[in-house]
């Protein structure tokens, strides 16, 4: 079962009057510490593109959306890890009177 405001749809933002994607949460959350996010993301992708995944996409769209949400959670975790490893830019020294 997925948790979201409106699974897989977009909603109108009252502030900006623009469409914004809805975050769908998977029924099985990712483990930030122990999951191998790249391996699990690739497995979700492999399944989604397999015959079984394509069949589920047609016959069980909520289940397919749940796997997709799980894959997106792994993708977000990989992006956050990559950002955390980026070196911070040193602040330029202000020129002042010596």
Give 63-92 pLDDT, tens digit per residue. Answer: 999 999 999 999 999 999 998 888 777 667
2 within domain boundaries? no
31 within domain boundaries? no
| pLDDT tens sequence across 40-64 | 999 999 999 999 999 999 999 999 9
CA triplet 10, 13, 14: central angle to 5 degrees? 145
User: 71: exposed, middle or buried (C-beta count within 10 Å: 0-12, 13-18, 19+)?
Assistant: buried
Quick one: pLDDT at residue 8? 41
Residues of the domain holding 43: 37-85
Kindly report the pTM of this predicted structure: 0.67
């Amino acid at each position: 079962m997925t948790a979201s405001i409106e699974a897989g749809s977009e909603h109108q933002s009252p502030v900006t009057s623009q469409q914004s994607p809805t975050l769908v949460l998977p029924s099985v959350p990712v483990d930030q510490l122990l999951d191998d996010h790249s391996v699990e993301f690739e497995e979700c992708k492999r399944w989604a593109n397999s015959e079984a995944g394509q069949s589920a996409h047609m016959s069980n769209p909520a289940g397919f959306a749940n796997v997709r949400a799980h894959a997106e959670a792994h993708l977000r975790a990989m992006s956050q890890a990559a950002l955390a490893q980026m070196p911070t830019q040193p602040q330029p020294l202000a020129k002042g009177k010596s």
